[in-house]
Amino acid sequence: MYNAFFGITENPFSLSPDPTFLYRSPQHEEALANLIYGVQSRKGFIVLTGEVGTGKTTMLECPMPLTLCSRAVFC
């Protein structure tokens, strides 16, 4: 129903998060920058909070820059 109306070919409402459907507002960009800063500066604990459906899980699925991924170690 939504696909035909909005002219999209993939289902945007699946159970697993898909970063291609994330609307990156200025607030999302700031959150992503803070996440990257926290990982790069090796902060011990980073918290990402927000209302239900605002893209928190999808934000964590966003592709990080290669330099970040090559230096970060996740346990």
Tokens representing residue 52 in the block = 């239900």
Q: Average model confidence (pLDDT) for the chain?
A: 75
pTM > 0.85: no
Q: Map out the domains of the chain as residue ranges.
A: 2-71
Supply φ then ψ for residue 37, to 5 degrees. -60, -45
**Residue 57 near residue 17 (C-beta atoms within 8 A):** yes
| pLDDT band at 69; cut points 50, 70, 90 | low
- pLDDT for 54-64, tens place per residue? 888 877 777 65
| Mean pLDDT for the stretch of residues 18-38 | 81
